[in-house]
Amino acid sequence: MTAINEGPFVVSEPCPVCRGQGVIDEQPCRVCHGTGVQRFFHGTKADLKPGDLIRPGHTSNFGKGREARHVYLTGTLDAATWGAELAAGDGPGRIYVVEPTGAIEDDPNLTDKKFPGNPTKSYRSREPLRVAGEITDWQGHPPEQLKAMKDNLERLKREGVEAIDD
């Protein structure tokens, strides 16, 4: 699969069933879990294959490195790019197209704290995500932007601020 990083907050594709509205007859769309997004992404450094499951329980990439109770997914390539670039571990960042296997909710770490209304289309789930494919043609953020983000995360860590409310 290929995709182009067209900038922040660009939704991959609207859900064809609810036409990106997230609701049908005043009920959450069952196809897109009420998000209005057709495809979801997950950025990481893990080498995964289609059919693999991404489960909660791994060490968090942020904060004190606690065991994560959620897995995170997004409807934008930009947010997935950050996930791939900031993930712990060695190896290249990777972006996967994922399918939720259960309920998802807005990610309060972004939607409540930084971007009210969830323009980043960032979500989390206590249920696994199934890998459907990999985006292989994505562009990372400019080096100075990535460095600024990493420096800020390091500063927060030194100050004892927990970046992830999991």
pLDDT in tens, 61-116: 655 566 778 899 998 889 899 999 998 888 899 999 999 999 988 888 766 666 66
Tokens at 45, concatenated: 């450094």
Residue 23 in any domain: the answer is no
- Please state the pTM of the whole predicted model: 0.78
Residue 74 in any domain: the answer is yes
Residue 9 in any domain: the answer is no
Residue 166 in any domain: the answer is no
CA distances for 137 relative to 78, 83, 93, angstroms: 13, 16, 12
pLDDT of residue 6: 42
- Count the domains in the chain: 1
Residue 145 in any domain: the answer is yes
Alpha carbon distance 98, 73 (integer Å): 8
pLDDT of residue 164: 57
Largest CA distance in the chain: 49
Residue 17 in any domain: the answer is no
Residue 16 in any domain: the answer is no
Residue 14 in any domain: the answer is no
Secondary structure (3-state) at 104: coil
Alpha carbon distance 7, 77 (integer Å): 8
Mean pLDDT of the chain: 82
CATH of the domain at 70: 3.20.170.40
Q: Give the domain range for residue 110.
A: 39-158
